[in-house]
Amino acid sequence: MRAIIFYNSIMKYILIIDETSLFREYLKHKLEENSAVEVTIGVNAMDGITKMKNLVPDLIILDYHLGRQGFMEVLKQKKTSPNTVNTPVIILAQRIDQKKLIELVPYNVKKIFTKPVKIDAFFVTLSELLGLRFSIDESPGIIEVHVNDNIIFIEIAKGLNRDKMDLLRFKIMELMQLYDIRIPKVIIMLSDIKLGFADAPNMQKLLDTVIQSSQANLTCIRVLTNDDFIRQFIQGKKEYHGIEVVSNLQFAMDGLLTEVGRGTENTEKKAEIISDKLLRAKTTDAGEAMALKFEAEAKNASIELMQESLHNLRIAIVDDDFVIQEMIKNTFQKTGAVVSTFSDGEEFIAAVDTEEFDLAFLDLNMPKTNGFEVLKALQARSIRYPVIVLSAVVQRDMMIKAFQMGIKSYLIKPIKPEDIFRKSIEILKANF
């Protein structure tokens, strides 16, 4: 008999079928915090089908973007077995065509979560389906992580949420692998956060998470804050000796770039991207969707291997440079993405009222209607899809303004196809 009695609860078996390794590990780690849950991993469709037959799970968590026809094959095999025909399924997807939803009706799909997945809603659904309680930190907290100039920027606002710090561990690892970062450099930006003695355990968890997941030398970590408690906490702990606490982002970046040597390409870019004003910038609710980024092990994957998940992705290129337009179009040519080009901001603004996009590349320096006017137009229409800014000149005030207007990341011209592809993966392939 498969059911196991554990502290008066029936052991629940969950099967996760997903090809993204760090994402799987996070879910397994979080789910098994409940002692009445045992998680089994399917690393691809065939592995998942085999384990589904042997395990007979109480719940299947299934990635929609399994290679080729793997996703539907899992559902078909589940339906043909009397042991699993009634097993509930949760589907995770970057996006699903509405026309495809009707196909999922016969397979006992209980919920579809669009990535990035809201953690609290996800575990509410698990509790309802399994009859179990999961411990969730409901305290406020926003964490966003991006890589710019091979520096890992971690921005934290509103509070230190422990669940999101657990996610941070996996996200840092993925981004390091995606960008093949050999010498980790980290800037932790604590925006508008005031902490006290009661927050010391969470502050320690944050620093330990960053140190352990990045494996960065402490001298390559900067903490930006205006809070006296944070400064005193770090400076008072021997284990954090070497971490520099600063109140100005320019100083933080200057110091990190000096660590890897002068005269490099990074030195030319250094602190011009943003300054300490970013520390005080208002963080939008969109940042709440902090996330585990796309599969790190795909860092060297070819575009062909990404074709399934990027198929029908809608991309806008807003740039008056025909060469840039063609480069980005060619980068996504084999993925099946639908790419639209606009030579001026005015053309793009006219299009957003009738067309939908998943991602936009936006040049800041255009004639007629420039990139800032485009960003204002998107804000006025409450359009929040991610925007990657393209700029030939890194000017401090320009980049600060762009960040405050909601851009997710940037690329400095001249750009290469691999830069475009990696940045797109970072921005679009968010799991959480």
Domain co-membership, 391 together with 365? yes
Q: Show Cβ contacts of residue 310 under 8 Å, excluding neighbours closer than 6 positions.
A: 332, 335, 336, 337, 428
> What would the pLDDT profile of 197-227 be if each residue is shown by its tens digit?
999 999 999 999 999 999 999 999 999 999 9
pLDDT at residue 308, rounded to an integer: 54
**Residue 66 neighbours by CB under 8 Å, 6+ apart:** 17, 18, 19, 44, 45, 74, 308
Write down which residue in 259, 288, 317 finishes a domain.
288
pLDDT given for residue 311 in this prediction: 67
Domain check: are 91 and 156 in the same one?
no
Q: Identify whether 48 is part of a domain.
A: yes
Residue 317 is predicted with a pLDDT of: 96
Q: Domain boundary at 76, 97, 130, which?
A: 130
In a domain, 296, yes or no: no
Which range has the worst mean pLDDT, 73-82, 128-137, 392-401?
A: 392-401
Distance of CA 384 to the CA centre of its chain: 15
The torsion region of residue 217 among left (phi > 0), alpha (psi -120 to 50) and beta comes to beta
In this predicted structure, the answer to whether residue 293 has a pLDDT above a threshold of 50 is: no
Other beta carbons within 10 Å of 102: 8
Residues 315 and 277 in one domain: no
Residue 105 belongs to domain spanning:
5-130
Give the H/E segment covering residue 246: strand 244-246
pLDDT for 292: 38
Q: Which amino acid appears at position 205 of this protein?
A: K
Verify that 148 and 277 share a domain, yes or no.
yes
Mind listing the pLDDT tens digit for each residue in 313-369? Answer: 899 999 999 999 999 999 888 778 899 999 999 999 999 989 989 899 999 888 889
In this structure, what CATH number is given to the domain that contains residue 13?
3.40.50.2300
Are both 123 and 32 inside the same structural domain? yes
**Band (383; pLDDT cuts 50, 70, 90):** confident
- Band of pLDDT at residue 255, cut at 50, 70 and 90: confident
Is residue 302 predicted with pLDDT exceeding 80?
Answer: no
Number of domains in the chain: 3
In Å, how far are 31, 35, 36, 123 from 7, measured between CA atoms?
17, 9, 8, 21
Residue 275 shares a structural domain with residue 362: no
The answer on 111 and 151 residing in a single domain is: no
Q: For the segment 58-100, what is each residue's pLDDT rounded down to a tens digit? A: 999 999 888 657 899 999 999 999 999 999 999 998 777 777 7
More confident residue, 41 or 312: 41
CATH number for the domain harbouring residue 208: 3.30.750.24
Residue-averaged pLDDT of the chain: 82
Residue 295 falls within a domain, yes or no? no
Report the pLDDT averaged over residues 99-107: 86
Residue 294 covered by a domain: no
Q: Is 297 inside any structural domain?
A: no
Residue 137: inside a domain: no
The reported pLDDT for the residue numbered 270 is 43
Is residue 147 located within the same domain as residue 275? yes
In a domain, 400, yes or no: yes
Average pLDDT of 290-312? 45
Tokens of 365: 């320096």
Residue 135 lies in a domain: no
Q: What is the widest separation between alpha-carbon atoms in the chain?
A: 72
pLDDT category, 401, cuts 50, 70, 90? confident
Are residues 166 and 126 part of one domain? no
375 CB-near residues (< 8 Å, 6+ apart): 362, 387, 402, 405, 406, 407
Residues 253 and 374 in one domain: no
Encoded tokens for 32:
């098994």
How high is the pLDDT of residue 262?
44
pTM of the full predicted structure?
A: 0.76
**pLDDT at res. 367:** 85
* Most confidently modeled range among 7-16, 153-162, 302-311: 153-162
Percent of the chain scoring above 90 in pLDDT: 47
Of 288, 316, 347, the last residue of a domain is 288
**Residues 120 and 35 placed together within one structural domain of the fold:** yes
Q: Contact, 134 vs 127, CB < 8 A? A: yes
The average pLDDT across 103-111 equals: 92
Is pLDDT of 36 > 80?
yes
125 and 222 assigned to the same domain = no
